[in-house]
Structure formats: structure tokens, C-alpha cells
Structure 1
Amino acid sequence: MNLPARWEAASRNERGTISDISVTGCFMLTGGETMPGEAVHVALELPKDRIIELRGEVVYLTEEIGFAVRFTSEDAGRTQLVKFLNLIISKRRASAPAEG
């Protein structure tokens, strides 16, 4: 899954793509630089102009590729993320070929 996103840390505001996501964190593909332990604000850009905003902490980075974020907030953004991920899972199950 690739989701467009914005992220902000300290005085930087960058764009990126989320290549992997769960209720606990994500991996952000981006050219922007950050450091492990740094607090970040992530805004997922969903279809129909919907945005899910989350707060997290950089866990590790891979130079010139991106960084992993652990979500740290338990708020409306996290609730929206859970609903969004459940919807994606439901759609994938519904479109999967029947076994038999």
C-alpha cells in the first residue's frame, strides 16, 4: 500500500509516501532528514480529501530512503486509522478469490 502523506518535525515540513502501515506505526518513504527519537507529526492523505493526523516518534531511519515511525498518541487520529485499516482489510477479503 502506498499512501501520500505529509510529515513535520522540528521546523521541517516534508512530503512522503507511506509504504507500510499498521495501527502502531508506519514506514515513510521520503528524502527529508530526521533522527531516531525525534517527535514527528504525520498526516495521511486519503481519497476524497480526508486526512488522518497522527503523532509519533522516529524509531530508525534508512538513509536516502526514509524512516520508521511508532505512533505515540491514542486520540481521534488513531481511532480513524483503525477504522481505515479495517475498511481496507474488509475490501481485500471481499475481493479475494474463493478457495476451494
Structure 2
Amino acid sequence: MKSFPLLFLILLSGCVATPKTVHVYDPECDIHVRKATLEANQSTLIKNCTNETCVGELVGASVIGTGSVIISGSIVVVSNVVYWIEREQNCRAVD
């Protein structure tokens, strides 16, 4: 059980989340709309980590990873609300 927190930190610190905007076709409205998603990127901070001195790096990377998920997730939620409003304004229902 002692290794579980360390394993959790390693898994969490391996990724940094970034928002990404993609364009998709909406057949219901016959328009192209934007949609925000989260994209996970491999963190380069821990790739060369091999011994006990890495604990500080793992803790720092986990804080950065968690912060990136919170901030990027908030950006994605707000962006998708704005994109939904744009879609509703531009939607031409296909008969």
C-alpha cells in the first residue's frame, strides 16, 4: 500500500492536458461547428527520472499536471458553451 501514492503520482505526472479546438460537421444544422476537447500530452519532466532523487520532480510534475487539467478543463467547458451558442444562432434545421 505504501507504493500506491507514488504510483498515482507517476501516472498523474505523465500527462499535461491542453485544450484543443476541432471543427466538426453537424448534419442536423448543415453547418461546420467548433468543439473544444482536452488533449493529453506526455510530460517531458519525468522521462529521465531513474532514482529516489526524482520524488521532488514527481511531486512538482503532479502539481503541474493537476493544475493543467483544472485550467484546461475550465477553458474547454467555457469554450463549448460559447460554441453551443454560436451553433444555436447559425443553425438552419434541415428538413
Higher relative contact order (CA 8 A, sep 6+): 2
Bigger CA radius of gyration: 2
Q: Which has the higher helix share?
A: 2
Higher strand share: 1
